[in-house]
Amino acid sequence: MNYATIRNCDIANGEGVRVSLFVSGCTHQCKGCFNPDQWSFDYGEPFDEKAEDTVLGLMAPSYIAGLSILGGEPMEPENQRALVPFLRRLRDRFGLSKTVWVYTGCVLETQLKAEGSRWRTEVTDEFLTLIDVLVDGPFVEDKKDISLKFRGSSNQRIIDIKKGKVVS
């Protein structure tokens, strides 16, 4: 898996001060996407052990609330497979003291949890257990609303995965 960028001290992509990892690769290719350069799976740099160590190091200060993973598309099957071992490392190091938010163009019930969906892989269930919040649904330009907190269009939902409920 490649990544486009790592942002430190991000306050736009989840609650609190966060580190944000923007992964490469997205087959949704939503009209009006703000990261079309990240649609290519070859864009950016390899998300290798050095990059993982950078993210974990940036997350160490107590004022960092957690990690946000965006894209591109974190839930592309190959990205899921690369992110799960990293998320295990993150949980081993920080436990539940840091939250993990994931932004996806997929819909939880009809794509990530649906049997036979191309988005559901052998690691999807574990991936979901390693995160706290899922912001789901494709960006829909006709539903764009800049007043919404932590999402770009009104069809997108903020789901507390641990509680199993939509919070916004």
State the total domains in the chain.
Answer: 1
pLDDT: is 31 or 118 the higher one? 118
**Which range marks the domain in which residue 122 is found?**
2-166
Model pTM score: 0.95
CATH number of residue 84's parent domain = 3.20.20.70
How buried is 101 (Cβ within 10 angstroms: 0-12 exposed, 13-18 middle, 19+ buried)?
A: buried
At 63-78, the pLDDT tens digits run 999 999 999 999 999 9
